[in-house]
Amino acid sequence: MTLFPRASTMLAFACAAALLACAPARAVTIDTATGPAEIDTRPDTVAVYDIAAIDTIHALGVPIAGVPDKLYLPQLGDVAGGAVVVGTLFEPDLEALNALAPDLVIVGGRSSRQAGETARVAPTIDMTIDGTHLLAEARARIEAYGALFGREDAAAPLLATLDADIAAARDAADGRGTALVVMTNGPKISVYGPGSRFGWIHNELAIPAAVDDLDAGIHGDAVSFEFIAEADPDWLIVIDRAAAIGSGEQNATQTLDNALVAGTTAWTKGQVIHLPAADLYIGAGGASATARVLEAIAEGFATAQ
């Protein structure tokens, strides 16, 4: 254990020395999940272990040198082509990372626990996005990456799009009643409240929750179908976890199509919104992924009877 403080102290000294050696004017302070961090701007070689970060940085037009083995979102297909695989979302391949010799490593969400490992190879920042205020953080990340990579010009239209999408989704849902966020996992279901990873749907889009005292569990709460019948939401917002991870398993519609759910207002009025699962579940907070989710929400509220 004594090695670690020593190593980190040395790292801190090294960073400080590096900062002093370089022109301090090129450093920028950005907000990360672990607090503000001062980083040299325009890192040339970047390895990113977070799908949302990859999505946003890609949307800014910045090339990414190192990525995890799977990017899940088909829209990110061309990122993989130009990048080296430096491990998985859950486990960095430190040798590959070392060979890449990045100027900066970005972790977040599922990979945030690996920050300590990757920091031994290169400066690492944790850009985890929390689900309770996802939209505000998505915005902050676009601004931070824009400043970091000197792409403020590309960040501005992304921010404008995000704001417009948020406004459209809020308008579409305004006054349409309560909603319950449900995730299907094969045959089973769990529900998510305002304090959960999908809490932003209630908190930031001002969509009232059908059950307001839902526990704040990040991973949702397992419930029976009786729970949905009893909650009787006006809208069901559905996330199909099996679809999110790309398995062709039993789909959400099949799971929810039963006698108990059929009695709810949401089901009888056809007010069931299926969200793009991978964008919400894996790319949550990424610029283009979030745009697609917001568009699905706006469209869902607009097209139902």
Residues that bind another protein (CB under 8 A): 70, 185-189, 215, 221-227, 229-230, 241-242, 245-249, 255, 258-260, 263
- Find all residues with CB under 8 Å of 78, minimum gap 6, and list them: none
CB of 228 to another protein, least distance (A): 9
Nearer to another protein, 86 or 189 (CB): 189
CB of 70 to another protein, least distance (A): 7
CB of 223 to another protein, least distance (A): 6
Task: Name the 3-class secondary structure at 72.
Answer: coil
What is d(CA 110, CA 48) in angstroms, rounded to the nearest whole number? 12
CB of 154 to another protein, least distance (A): 32
What is d(CA 123, CA 101) in angstroms, rounded to the nearest whole number? 10
How many whole angstroms from its chain centre is CA 38?
23
CB of 215 to another protein, least distance (A): 7
Give the phi and the psi of residue 178 in degrees, each rounded to 5. -85, 160
Would you state the structure tokens that stand for residue 239, as one six-digit string? Answer: 């996330």
Amino acid in position 177: G
Nearer to another protein, 43 or 87 (CB): 87
Q: What is the DSSP letter of 104?
A: E
Nearer to another protein, 22 or 218 (CB): 218
CB of 259 to another protein, least distance (A): 5
Spatial strand order in the sheet of 235-240: 221-223, 188-192, 179-185, 235-240, 272-274
Burial bucket for residue 112 (CB in 10 Å: 0-12, 13-18, 19+): middle
Nearer to another protein, 3 or 259 (CB): 259
CB of 162 to another protein, least distance (A): 29
Nearer to another protein, 126 or 240 (CB): 240
Nearer to another protein, 157 or 187 (CB): 187
What is d(CA 163, CA 169) in angstroms, rounded to the nearest whole number? 10
Amino acid in position 190: S
Under a CB-based contact definition with an 8 Å cutoff, are residues 288 and 275 in contact?
A: no
Nearer to another protein, 8 or 258 (CB): 258
What is d(CA 221, CA 191) in angstroms, rounded to the nearest whole number? 5
What is d(CA 285, CA 289) in angstroms, rounded to the nearest whole number? 7
